[in-house]
A and B are shown apart, each in its own frame.
Chain A
Amino acid sequence: METNPRPCIAVEGLTGCAGELLVILENLDKLLPFVRVASFPFAQSQNDDGPVDIAFVEGSVSQPHDLEKLKRIRAKARWLVAVGNCAVWGCVQGGACAKCKVTDMLEAVYGQHSEIQALESRPLDAYVNVDVKLSGCPIDKTQFLSVTASLLKDHLPYITHKPVCLECKLNENPCVLIEKNLPCLGPVTAAGCGALCPSLGAACYGCWGPSQAPQMDAMATILSEKGYEALEIMNRLKTFGAPEHLFERMNV
């Protein structure tokens, strides 16, 4: 027995691409001097189900066993951190797929009378209390380490949701929305990626989820003035799980 046991963490995945798990795995060497990894099924075969100080959970709740797992994790974790767009917003399976009924999709893909069970895909906070939401697609490693450092000191981390435009301007990129008329969602998308796509001349497609108080109606107006169709605009805005209440001021 260690006299001063290191804080325990768990890293778990629900329905997602495992992108967050990879980022965490790639940076695990930096964490290992300070934490004990109680559970990380993606990366280790010996896992225990005991209480942990921090649980990082990736993926959205899309199947009944996701929900059971999430509730188990919530019950054993002091801090529950939703990592990645899937866990924070529901991502593509929550946004783009929300246009169809889940039963229709299930039947189209698996046929009638399939034994597959599916739920409408939802972010973690639809079911449990989430202490920290760290979005990203995938998450940024510096933010991840910084959030972990704060939680290890029992501080709630400071995560801003300023728009991608800020990082884009700080990088002094030419604006692709203005100069190339690309349907860039930088103005309404949370920063943290370092304005990756616009820095390479491409439009931001919103994969980090909405910025704080995004002006969706103004964004739609500007894109429609550039000639984009209303349906295309809404599809773009909603693809990564932006919740319905953000569109209340719009007639959609």
Chain B
Amino acid sequence: MRTFCLLVLPNDTLEDIFVCNGCVGSYGSILKMSRNFLLPKSRFCEFFNYLKGLGKFFAPVRVSEQSFSFKEIENEGEIAWDALRTILPPKKFFYPQRETVLKYDRNEVEATVPEDNFQVIFGVHPCDLAGLGIMDTIFEAAPGDTHYTKRREQSLVIGLSCMPDKYCFCQSMGTSCPTKGYDLFLTDLGDAFFVQVETARAEQMLAGCNGLFSPVSENDKDSYKEFWIERDKAFTNGFEPDNLRSTLDMEWDNPLWDELGKRCLSCGNCTPVCPTCYCFDLVDIANLNGQSGERQREWDSCQFVGFAQVAGDYNFRPTPVDRLKFWYRHKLHGFDDPYGFKTCVGCGRCTVSCPSGIDDIVDVVKRLQGNNEQPNK
């Protein structure tokens, strides 16, 4: 897999890396090589207005002292440039919290189709892009989720560089550099954005605003490389990921799980905030006439006791310990076979969203690995 991460691929020259990073998610045909431009910040407003003209524009906005949320915005001033992680990840744009999937009456069942709505999702950081890439794999798997796919097809995803805080550990999960899930990626170089165009769709979109961009100079490339080198150095949180798989297998009965489970509220906060949690509940809502109704799906959580409850009142994950351990394993090991990737992208949302403080993945992994140094948070 090619990335433009500067830490890997020691035999490639940086120039090679720039022209080879064509490994992106499957939405929008991928350009043979990414094309690079410079967008001066003085022209960002025009860029915003141009994109706004294409459809709904969503970006992170501040919703409380500590929290951000992707919301539809009307002017660029609403963008919270300092947003690292939103409460909910961008999966909500393609797989909404609640939706009607079909309507029925006595004679027929009609599958609902998402509306035609072009949308621009702006300011998605590398961890969330990795999350979208994973969701693409899951929702595209046969027979494919038509609701997800349609919404994904009519969205332009614009990535944005970031600097890690004390909760970010994407570097440990191998997701710190964007490789998939986006159309355009913007690296903040101070007075300009280094723009990488990844998909033919993005290329087409940008045809209408070419005048805003200038060619990339050698100097700009140097600044770009410098940014990513500095960013790699900026991580303070993380663990050694190489033995993750064997550690989780080996430590299935570690007493740490009981310690965490005792504090677990089973509130389920860790799952809606996760960029890759996809479980849902399906409910039929009947109309009073007894003739018709609709089927709705809503995000569900493996942390709820009813999630694994089956007929006969049997429950194969009856305690908070069972459920929490299951979730950790699912995120850090469950997709190794057959997919070959982890479904944790290191965004730190679960860590900051857990009222009990037991979803500090980095701390838990380190303790399972036998590293008992105090967490740095």
Contact = CB atoms under 8 A, between A and B. Distances in A.
A166 B288 CA distance: 27
Contacts of A33: 288-289
Interface in A145-172: 145-146, 148-150, 152-153, 155, 158, 160-163, 165-166, 169-170, 172
Contact of B305 (A145, A169, A213, A217): A213
B286 A153 contact: yes
Contacts of B356: 218, 221-222
B281 interface: yes
A214 to B, nearest CB: 8
Given A162-B306, A212-B306, A222-B355, A170 B272 contact: yes
Contacts of B376: none
Contact of A153 (B63, B262, B290): B290
B36 interface: no
A173 B66 CA distance: 11
Contacts of B269: 165, 169, 175, 187
Q: Which of A170, A173, A188, A215 has the most CB of B within 10 A?
A: A215
A178 interface: yes
Interface in B84-104: 87-88, 92, 97-98
B97 A160 contact: no
Contact of A187 (B265, B272, B299, B352): B265
B268 A163 contact: yes
Contacts of A213: 266, 305
Contact of A218 (B64, B262, B281): B262
B290 A175 contact: no
B341 interface: no
Interface residues of B, number: 43
Given A153-B290, A174-B66, A218-B262, A162 B320 contact: no
B353 A175 contact: yes
Contact of B263 (A150, A169, A170, A218): A218
Nearest to B287: A149
Interface string B238-272: 00000000000000000000000011111111001
B87 A174 contact: yes
B273 A169 contact: yes
Contacts of B264: 215, 218
Interface in A113-157: 145-146, 148-150, 152-153, 155
Nearest to B285: A146
Contacts of A8: none
Interface string B262-303: 111111110011000000010111111110010000111100
B266 A160 contact: no
B9 to A, nearest CB: 38
A248 interface: no
Given A169-B273, A212-B305, A219 B265 contact: yes
A110 interface: no
Nearest to B289: A34
B223 to A, nearest CB: 35
Given A149-B293, A165-B269, 10 more contacts: A149-B290, A158-B284, A166-B301, A172-B87, A173-B87, A186-B267, A187-B355, A213-B305, A214-B266, A218-B264
22 contacts: A30-B288, A34-B290, A145-B288, A146-B285, A148-B288, A155-B286, A162-B268, A163-B304, A165-B268, A166-B268, A169-B272, A172-B92, A174-B87, A175-B355, A178-B353, A178-B355, A179-B66, A187-B266, A213-B266, A217-B262, A218-B356, A221-B356
Interface of A: 30-31, 33-34, 145-146, 148-150, 152-153, 155, 158, 160-163, 165-166, 169-170, 172-175, 177-179, 186-188, 212-215, 217-219, 221-222
Interface of B: 63-67, 69, 87-88, 92, 97-98, 262-269, 272-273, 281, 283-290, 293, 298-301, 304-306, 320, 352-353, 355-356
